Structure 1
Amino acid sequence: MSTTAANEAKDREQLHKKFAEMGLRGYWQMRHETERMQPKLWRWKEIYPVLMETTEVIRIGPDAFRRNVGLQTGSKTLSMGFQIVLPGETAAAHRHANTALRFVVKGSGAYTTSNGEPMVMELGDLLIQPNWVWHDHVNNSKEPIIWIDALDAGVVSFLDASGFREEWAEGKQQPLTKTNGASRRLYGPARQPKVEYNGAAGVPYHYKWGEALQALKELADQGIDDPYDGLFIEYKNPVDGGHTFLTMTCHIQMLQPGQETRFHRHTGTVLYHTVQGRGVTIVDKNSPVEMQWDEHDSFSLPAWRWHAHKNLSQTEPAILFSVTDRPLLKMTGLDREENG
C-alpha cells in the first residue's frame, strides 16, 4: 500500500470513529440487506395436528393471552397465523394499535365481539377489526373453531406504535350492546350519512362467505375473468369503498377447473390460504419454484416475483383467500406491476 493510500485509509478510519462517537453514519457506510423473503408452503395435514396439540398444552389465560400459532413467513410488514378456541373457552377483551382480520377456516358458531357486537363466525366468514377496536372471543359452540389471524404487525412495530394497547377494565368480556349483524346494517350500502369511528382507524365489519361465493359465481356467469388471477374480488372497505384497511387488503379468487393464469409480478407481499380445491403456484420463470397446494394449505409470495396459478382439478374450482400489504405501496407511490 502506498503512503498516500495508507494515509487515506487512516484518515477515513479516524473520521468513521468520530461518526460512531457522535451517532453519525456516512452514506457510503450503509449496508443494504441481502436476505430476501422466500416463497414457502405450509401443509394443513402437517400443521393441523400440531395446532390441536397446542390446545392440550397451552391454556388461554394462564399460559397465553391468545392461543395463536404464527407462520414464519419472513414478511417485514404482515403477520399471519392460526388462532384456536375450544368449546367453552373465552379470550379476554382488549384493543391495540394493530389492525387485525379473522378468516374462519374450521368450525362455526363461536363469536367475536367487536365494539359490543357479537359477530357469529361461520366457515369462510371474514371479520375485520381496524386498530383501536375492542374485541374478544367466545366459543359457546360444541366444536373447536380455528381462524386465520392476520395483522399489520411489522408496520406498526417499525413505526414504534405497537405499545398502544388497552385491556377491558370491567371483566374479561365486553357487554353485548348490539346484536349479530349490526355492523352490516350500520355500515352497509344504505347507512347514515356520517359514520363515527370513535377513535379507531375504521369500523368493524363482518363479510359473509355466502355473499363472497355468490359474487365469484356471478363473475363466472358474466365471463369477467382476470388472466392473471382468475375470478378475483377484493373485500372493499364498507365505508369508503377503498381497500379493506389502510395498511393491507384482502382478496378471494377462484380458478375454474383446469385454469392456468398468466405470469405477472408486483410489489407487495401476499399471504395465501387455500379455501378449497388443489393447485400449484409457480414462482419465478427461471429456476421456478412450484408450491403445490391442497385444501387449507397456506403459502407466501414475496414481492416482485413472477408467479402464476394453476388449478390441478379438471372438474372442481379452486378458491384462494389472500391478504397483501399493497395498499401501503400504493399510498406511498411505490406500487409497481408487470405482466408477463
Structure 2
Amino acid sequence: MSNSTAQPDPKHADPTAERADRMKRLSIIPIWNTSGVAEEMGYKARGHVWRWRDLHAEFEEAVKTSLAGPGTERRILLFENPGMPRSAAATPTLNGALQMILPGEVAPAHRHTYSALRFILSGSGAFTVVDGTRADMHELDLLLTPGGCWHSHAHNGGTEPMVWFDALDTPFVSYMRADCFEMHPSKSLEPYTNTVGSYEDIGALGMLQGRTRAQPPASPQLVYKWAAAEAMIQAGLDRDDDDPYEGVVYEYVNPITGGHVMPTIACHVNGFRKGFHSKARRRTSSSLCVVAKGSGATIIDGVKHEWSERDVIAEPAWSWCEYIAYEKSILFRTSDQPILEPFGLARQEDHPNGRQ
C-alpha cells in the first residue's frame, strides 16, 4: 500500500480558485458585476453607535488596572467602523476617538498635518494650548486644532477626569501621503503667552478686529461656546424653524470667511423637538455625530440605531438617514464635506418616498 498523499487531478482543478490566484499574482481585482470595489474588499463603512456607557467603563477599568493609569500620555479609545476591519478609522476619511486626561497630567506638545477638533464630554479643570494660546475646556464646547499647529493638553484643576471626543482627518491625509508628525522641543506643555478670550468674540456682533484681514484656511476662533450654539437651536425650535430632513440646523463657521471651520472638516449642530421624525436623506459626505442632549434613534439604510447622551454615531457616505427624537435632542455633527466641495463631489438626495 502506498503512503504517498494523493495529488489533485489537474483535469479537475477548480478554475475559479486558479483564476483568483492568478489575479492575485497580477495584483488586479476583477469586477464582473455591479457590486463595487469597496464591497468586494470589505471596506463598506456601516452605520454604527459607540455607546458612552461602554466606552467610559473601559476607561475606568483601564485606569483601575493601570493599563492606562496615571502618567499614561496617550489615553485614547480609537473608533473602528465594523465594516472597515483593520482600518483604525470611523469612516474612510475621518478618525473618531474618546480621550481622557487625569488631574495633574500633561499630554506633551506636538504638531501634525492632520486637522483635529475636541468636543468636550465630561469633567472640568483641563485646558489645551494651541500655538501659544490657552483655551480652557468646558462641557460641550468645541475646540479646534488646525493642521500644523503646536498643541498640548493639561489638567491642573478639579478632581475628576476630563473626557472629550476627538475627530481628525487622519485617514484622508494618510491616503494623500501628506503625513507629518513632530514633537515639541519642550517635550512637555507648550508655553503660552495669551488666553483664548481674544478669540471667543472675534466675530461677535458682526464685527472683526481692524487688523484681521487675512484669509486663513482654518478658523482663527479656537473655541466655540456651547451656550451660544444651544441658544441658537432653542431659538430655531421656538420659531418652528424645522427642516423636515434636518430639524433645526446651524453650522460653526470661520468668522473671517463665513466658510467651514477647517479645510477638511465641517461642524454643525442639529436640534430636534420631542417626537420629531425626519424624512430620509443621503449625502456623499460621511459624518460622525455626538449626542449632546436628549435621546432618540437614527435609521441608517433601514437599520434603526438608538442613541442617548454622549453616544457617537457613524453615518457612512451615501447612506439613507432619518432621525427620531424621543425627547428634545441636539446632535453635534462633524463631516468631511469640505473635502468634496472643491471637486464638485458634494451631493445630497432626498428619499423619493420621504422615508425608508
Q: Same fold (TM over 0.5)?
A: yes
CA contact (8 A) 2:145 2:222 kept: yes
After superposition, the C-alpha distances for 1:256-279 in whole angstroms (9 at most, x for unaligned) are 011111111111111111111110
TM-score (norm. length: structure 2)? 0.81
Q: Does 1:149 align with 2:166?
A: yes
Q: Does 1:301 align with 2:318?
A: no
Q: CA deviation at 1:54?
A: 2.7
1:52 is matched with: 60
TM-score (norm. length: structure 1)? 0.84
Q: Percent identity?
A: 33
CA contact (8 A) 1:129 1:204 kept: no
2:298 is matched with: 281
Q: CA deviation at 1:220?
A: 1.9
Counterpart CA distance in 1 for 2:168 and 2:140 is: 18
1:109 equivalent among 125, 129, 145: 125
- Partner amino acid for 1:169? P
Counterpart CA distance in 2 for 1:237 and 1:294 is: 29
Residues 1:149 and 1:139: Cα distance change in structure 2 (over 3 Å)? same
2:329 equivalent among 318, 324, 329: 318
CA contact (8 A) 1:70 1:79 kept: yes
- 1:1-340 equivalences under 5 Å are 32-34=37-39, 35=42, 36-56=44-64, 57-59=66-68, 65-73=73-81, 74=84, 75-142=91-158, 143-162=160-179, 164-186=180-202, 189-191=207-209, 192-195=211-214, 203=220, 205-284=222-301, 288-313=302-327, 317-340=328-351
Counterpart CA distance in 1 for 2:321 and 2:215 is: 41
Counterpart CA distance in 1 for 2:182 and 2:215 is: 20
Counterpart CA distance in 2 for 1:195 and 1:218 is: 32
Residues 1:209 and 1:62: Cα distance change in structure 2 (over 3 Å)? closer
After superposition, the C-alpha distances for 1:138-168 in whole angstroms (9 at most, x for unaligned) are 1112221000010001011001111x12211
Q: CA deviation at 1:61?
A: 9.2
Residues 1:50 and 1:114: Cα distance change in structure 2 (over 3 Å)? same
Counterpart CA distance in 1 for 2:29 and 2:52 is: 48
Counterpart CA distance in 1 for 2:221 and 2:182 is: 17
1:3 is matched with: none
Counterpart CA distance in 2 for 1:89 and 1:172 is: 10
Counterpart CA distance in 2 for 1:145 and 1:279 is: 25
- Partner amino acid for 1:141? G
Residues 1:309 and 1:25: Cα distance change in structure 2 (over 3 Å)? closer
1:8 is matched with: none
Deviates more, 1:319-328 or 1:188-197: 188-197
Counterpart CA distance in 1 for 2:31 and 2:227 is: 56
CA contact (8 A) 1:60 1:91 kept: no
Q: CA deviation at 1:238?
A: 2.9
Say which SS state the counterpart of residue 54 (structure 1) adopts: helix
Say which SS state the counterpart of residue 212 (structure 1) adopts: helix
Q: Give the CA RMSD over aligned residues.
A: 2.8
Q: CA deviation at 1:69?
A: 0.8
Say which SS state the counterpart of residue 53 (structure 2) adopts: helix
- Partner amino acid for 1:310? I
- Partner amino acid for 2:181? R
After superposition, the C-alpha distances for 1:167-223 in whole angstroms (9 at most, x for unaligned) are 1113411212112323224565422242386xx855351000001111111212333
Counterpart CA distance in 1 for 2:133 and 2:222 is: 10
Counterpart CA distance in 1 for 2:266 and 2:111 is: 20
Residue correspondences, number: 314
Q: CA deviation at 1:243?
A: 1.1
Counterpart CA distance in 2 for 1:109 and 1:26 is: 53
After superposition, the C-alpha distances for 1:279-307 in whole angstroms (9 at most, x for unaligned) are 011122xxx20001111111111111111
CA contact (8 A) 2:71 2:105 kept: no
Residues 1:104 and 1:144: Cα distance change in structure 2 (over 3 Å)? same
Say which SS state the counterpart of residue 194 (structure 2) adopts: coil
CA contact (8 A) 1:99 1:129 kept: yes
Deviates more, 1:91-100 or 1:291-300: 291-300
Residues 1:89 and 1:253: Cα distance change in structure 2 (over 3 Å)? same
